[in-house]
Amino acid sequence: MNIGEASKASGISGKMIRYYESIGLIPSVGRTEAGYRTFSDKDIHTLRFIARARSLGFSVEQMSNLLALWRDSNRASSDVKAVAYAHIEELDSKIEKLIAMRQTLQHLAEHCHGDHRPSCPILGDLAGVPEPVGTPTTADV
């Protein structure tokens, strides 16, 4: 299997496969005499593992830990669980931040006439104009 086929089989671009190899996330794969990379079934399996982990938002560093645990048949499941929960917490904090932004923006947008007139509470808020009563700002979120 060359890199093109490996890419199709794993869903990871050839560019990224080379990159993952270069940073040592995956071990060096085989080469033909001409220098072409050759991928074994095991390599493909690893790449698919990576693809799945990426889709769950794990960073390269976290994937490196997960791969090490995967390869270690004696790992304790608690170690894996710890990595997973650490990532869940990261996700939670990102989600919270985004929701707070969304909420503030939604509120501002709702109070914007959205017509030809120039007056707009969105710009007002950004420019630091104090809001009228009953229209909380991000500070309240």
Partner DNA sequence: CTTGACCTTCCAACGATGGGAAGGTCTATG
Partner DNA sequence: CATAGACCTTCCCATCGTTGGAAGGTCAAG
User: What is the CA 70 to chain-centroid distance, rounded?
Assistant: 20
Query: How far is 81 from 77, CA to CA, in rounded Å?
Result: 6
**Does residue 115 belong to the site contacting DNA (CB under 7 A)?**
no
Report the partner that residue 94 touches, choosing among DNA, a second copy, none (CB closer than 5 to 8 A by kind).
Answer: a second copy
User: How does DSSP classify residue 130?
Assistant: P
Number of residues forming the site for a second copy (CB under 8 A): 53
Angle between helices 77-110 and 60-71 (to 10 degrees): 150
By C-beta, is 54 or 111 nearer to DNA?
Answer: 54
CA-wise closest residue to 58 among 88, 98, 28: 88
Kindly write down the DSSP assignment for every residue of 28-61, as one continuous string.
PPEE-TTS-EE--HHHHHHHHHHHHHHHTT--HH
Mask of contacts with a second copy, 52-81, x by CB under 8 A?
xx-xxx--------x--xx--xxxxxx-xx
**Does residue 130 belong to the site contacting a second copy (CB under 8 A)?**
no
By C-beta, is 31 or 106 nearer to a second copy?
Answer: 106
**How far apart are CB 32 and a second copy at their closest, in Å?**
27
Contacts to a second copy from residues 91-120, by CB under 8 A: 91-92, 94-95, 97-99, 101-102, 104-106, 108-109, 112-120
**Does residue 106 belong to the site contacting DNA (CB under 7 A)?**
no
Query: How far is 88 from 95, CA to CA, in rounded Å?
Result: 10
Mask of contacts with a second copy, 37-56, x by CB under 8 A?
--------x--xx--xx-xx
